[in-house]
Structure 1
Amino acid sequence: MNIEAIKSIYVYEMARMRRTLLQSVISPVLSTALYFIVFGAAVGSRMEEIGGVSYGAFITPGLIMLALITQCVSNGSAGIYFPKFTGTIYEILSAPVAMTEILIGYVGAAATKGMMIGLIILATAMLFVDLDIAHPLLMLFFMVLTSITFSLAGFIIGILAKNFEQLSLVPSLVVPPLTFLGGTFYSIDMLPPFWQAVSHLNPVLYLVSGFRWSFFEVSDVHPLISLGMIGIFLAACLGFLAYIFKTGYKLRP
């Protein structure tokens, strides 16, 4: 394992975050803070508790997960797409560095950025709502597993994307609707039976539900099922990346 190569890629990607601090950190934190002000304080104060949890606290795990997924996908895709766009990817591919080491460097940096944003938003949420985290270690485990999984998904998107429009398609048009319809602002028990069944087809529901259970021991889906769904998605991403690395699909002419 070439630790120096992994470190070089990782440090370079983390430095890019410092250069784009306004876009990478301040923007998602401000956006999420607005959700807490509007939904948590203004609307939440007029709503009943859900599962014994105040509405402002109830939406907190979903909002953290929304920011976490979006940032991991965006950072994971941009990290590999820009070397492709500028042509420097061929210098990396021709270097004595294994594809797994390249993957660890890029995905590790993207997951770290996502975790940092998620933890900052968690700290921000505590300024607006009272939070008692029932299982902090499980919460961190969910965050780490989700960060790695969606950073891998973003890495795949960055490899497959042909232009900037395709690069931003999933983070801007796919992730937000799935997260909003995945129980971020409500419990699916509040829906009619038919729409409850439809909601179970949304993969983000399992992420939000399991993450919420680690906070309040309240969820729409059993946490073990949530972990299983994340594991399946993680395995699917690794399997597809193994195919890309073996064939050079979208990486080599």
Structure 2
Amino acid sequence: MNGQAIKAIYLFEMARMRRTLLQSVVSPVISTSLYFIVFGAAIGQRIQEIDGVPYGAFITPGLIMLTLLTQCVNNGAFGIYFPKFTGTIYELLSAPVSMAEVLIGYVGAAATKGMIIGVIILATASLFVDIRIAHPVMMVVFFALTAITFSLLGFVIGIWAKDFEQLNLIPMLVVPPLVFLGGSFYSIKMLPPFWQAISHANPVLYLISGFRWSFFEVAEVDPMISVAIILGFLAALSGLVTWIFRTGYRLRE
């Protein structure tokens, strides 16, 4: 394993975050504050508590997941797509660097950036509501697994995309609706039975449910099922990336 190559790719990607602090850090903080003002103040006046948790605190894990998923997918996709767009991907492919090292460098940087923003969102949320974490170890497990998995998804999207329209298709049109419909701002127990069944087909529900359980011990589904779902998704994406590297799909074109 070429640690120097991984470090070079990782630091190069992390440097991009420092150059775009306004977009990477300030924008998510402002967005989170607006969510708390709109949902916490307006809706919170009508919904005081959900499962014994104050509404403002209840939506905090969902807000963190919304930001984490969006940031990880975007960073993972853009990180590998931009070298394709500029043509520098061929320098990377011809260098004495294995595809595993490329993957670790890009996905590691995307996951790190997503987790940094997630921690900032958690700190911002604590200014508005009282946050308690019942299971900090499991919180970190869900946090890290989600960041790695969706950074890997972004990496796959970046390889698949042929232009900027395709690059933004899934992060803009697929991920946010899944998060919003995954119980970010409500409990699915509040839905009619038919829509509860539909919601259980949404994989993001399990991520948000497990993450919320680590805070308040309140969950829509068993936390171990949530862990199994995200591990299964991670395994499926790893298999897909292995196939991409083996065949050179859209890397050598």
Q: TM-score range by the shorter chain?
A: over 0.9
| Aligned position for 2:122 | 122
Q: CA deviation at 1:178?
A: 0.5
1:26 and 1:174 map into 2 onto residues whose CA distance is 24
CA contact (8 A) 1:72 1:154 kept: yes
Q: Counterpart of 2:129 in structure 1: which amino acid?
A: V
1:166 and 1:26 map into 2 onto residues whose CA distance is 26
| Aligned position for 1:88 | 88
2:183 and 2:137 map into 1 onto residues whose CA distance is 22
| Aligned position for 1:71 | 71
Q: CA deviation at 1:170?
A: 1.1
Q: Counterpart of 2:243 in structure 1: which amino acid?
A: Y
1:33 and 1:225 map into 2 onto residues whose CA distance is 31
| Aligned position for 2:244 | 244
State the TM-score, normalized to the length of structure 1.
0.99
| Aligned position for 1:140 | 140
1:141 and 1:252 map into 2 onto residues whose CA distance is 36
Q: CA deviation at 1:42?
A: 3.3
Q: CA deviation at 1:33?
A: 1.4
State the TM-score, normalized to the length of structure 2.
0.99
Unaligned 5+ runs, structure 2 = none
Unaligned 5+ runs, structure 1 = none
Q: Deviations over 1:186-226 (max 9, x none)?
A: 11111111110000011110000000000000010110000
CA contact (8 A) 1:50 1:58 kept: yes
- The more displaced of 213-222 and 21-30 is 21-30
| Aligned position for 1:15 | 15
| Aligned position for 2:107 | 107
Q: CA deviation at 1:90?
A: 0.3
Calculate percent identity across the aligned residue pairs: 74
Q: CA deviation at 1:48?
A: 2.7
| Aligned position for 1:24 | 24
The 4+ residue runs of structure 1 with deviation greater than 4 A are none
Q: CA deviation at 1:25?
A: 1.4
Does residue 62 (structure 1) correspond to residue 71 (structure 2)? The answer is: no
Does residue 184 (structure 1) correspond to residue 188 (structure 2)? The answer is: no
1:33 and 1:136 map into 2 onto residues whose CA distance is 24
| Aligned position for 1:34 | 34
CA contact (8 A) 1:40 1:129 kept: no
Root mean square deviation, CA, Å? 0.8
Secondary structure of the corresponding residue to residue 221 of structure 2: coil
